[in-house]
Amino acid sequence: MAQHDDPLNGSSCRHSHPPAGLGTPARLAWSSAVFGLSALVQGLGGFWTGSLGLVSDSLENLNDLVANLLNLTSVLVANKREPSERFAYGWHRLEVFNTLLGAGMLLALAAGIVREGVHRLKAPPAIQTGWVLAFCCLGLVLNLAAALILRPRGDDELERDANLKSAYLHAFSDSVASLALLAGTLVIRFTGWRWIDPLVALVIVGFIVRGAYGLAADAIAILMHRAAFDHAEARRQLLLLPGVSGVEDIRSWRLCSHLVVCTAHVQVEVERLEDTQPLLAAIQRVLADKFRVRHVTVHFETKVMAGEHSHRFVHEHEADEHHGHGHS
């Protein structure tokens, strides 16, 4: 006998936002405007002053602008596209593909900066340090403003929202990069060591590559259906519920950063299907409160039923059709 919670509908499937203040779409939009202004100001300043550090910081801001707009688009599209027969969970996984695209853009950007930085290390050009300092300070102020717009309102907000986490980490790394560029320009001004400017640009590349790696790793983990939480701990918590005598075949995965889906075989000590209703409510509550599961499907079974089939997922591409049916 099997029971599951209500299917994901438009409201339950939407991205959750903090109860007060700007939601994720608004914060992404406002921070995008700040990133765009910063990219424009520092880009023009970099070409005018000859500073590769300013240009690299500008390009990082431009990448953040594009990444934010991609994330914002994925949120808006996912919230407007209801689940259907063909797309059972809607379009929420669009976020994952946008994340991979953003990571690819970061790596392409890093490669360009490395190439130019190595060239300039061999023959560093002169830069207008006074104006570079002015543009650095302005860029730092703008990056800090973006970070304030995107700052988390709770201890776990960033873990629940990959779009917000990505944008916030970008803003934070941009602020650190601006500080590094500011410090490097001061050294150039007082020592005349022009090679520091391309060196700082290469340091900024380190932030870019690190960000790209984190984004790609998170997206690939979702696509590979990595477990969304600790199954052993979930099994332990569920076995504490009265009437539950066994928990097998727990599977969990993320549709996107916000939505965790879970299935499980639960062995119970009841005689009638109706008697499982309180257990189902308790299981849903435990999984939602402790593991942030938004959608759960539970297969209830007795001890006899549990012994009649394997709970291991076995799949062989060459297996015959009859063999494969018993393990889905």
pLDDT tens-place string over residues 67-120: 777 777 777 777 777 777 888 777 788 878 878 887 888 788 888 888 888 989
Q: CA-CA-CA-CA torsion for 63, 65, 69, 70, nearest 10 degrees?
A: 10
Domain span including residue 277: 227-327
Assess whether 233 and 319 both reside in one domain: yes
Does residue 188 sit within a domain? yes
Lowest average pLDDT, out of 32-41, 48-57, 205-214, 295-304, goes to 205-214
Does residue 76 sit within a domain? yes
Say whether pTM exceeds 0.85.
no
Assess whether 61 and 165 both reside in one domain: yes
Q: How many residues does the chain have?
A: 328
Does residue 8 sit within a domain? no
Q: What are residue 252's DSSP bridge partners?
A: 262
Percentage of the chain lying above the pLDDT 90 cut: 22
Q: What average pLDDT does range 135-142 have in this prediction?
A: 91
pLDDT of residue 14: 40
CB < 8 Å & 24+ apart, contacts of 47-51: 48/128, 48/131, 49/127, 49/128, 49/131, 49/132, 49/135, 50/125, 50/126, 50/127, 50/128, 51/127, 51/128, 51/132, 51/135, 51/181, 51/185, 51/197
Q: Are 169 and 34 in contact (CB under 8 A)?
A: no
Q: Which of these three, 163, 198, 223, is where a domain ends?
A: 223
Write the DSSP assignment of 211-236 as a string of letters. Answer: HHHHHHHHHHHHHTT--SS-HHHHHH
pLDDT of residue 131: 92
Q: Residue 109 gets which letter from DSSP?
A: H
Question: Can you say whether the dihedral through the CA atoms of 219, 221, 226, 229 is positive or negative?
Answer: negative
pLDDT of residue 327: 43
Assess whether 158 and 219 both reside in one domain: yes
Assess whether 32 and 172 both reside in one domain: yes
- The shares of helix, strand and coil residues in the chain, as percent rounded to the nearest 5, are 65, 10, 25
Ranges assigned E (strand) in 135-281: 244-254, 260-268
Number of domains comprising the chain? 2
Quote the crossing angle between the two packed helices 94-122 and 162-191, to the nearest 10°: 10
222-264: pLDDT as tens digits = 899 899 999 999 999 999 998 898 898 899 998 887 789 999 9
Assess whether 210 and 241 both reside in one domain: no
pLDDT of residue 326: 46
Q: What CA–CA distance (Å, rounded) separates 190 from 298?
A: 68
Q: Which of these three, 207, 223, 239, is where a domain ends?
A: 223
30-59: pLDDT as tens digits = 888 998 999 899 889 988 888 888 888 888
Residue 178 carries which side chain, given as an amino acid letter? S
Q: Are 133 and 189 in contact (CB under 8 A)?
A: yes
Assess whether 233 and 281 both reside in one domain: yes
Strand order in the sheet with 2-4: 2-4, 293-301, 260-268, 244-254
Does residue 6 sit within a domain? no
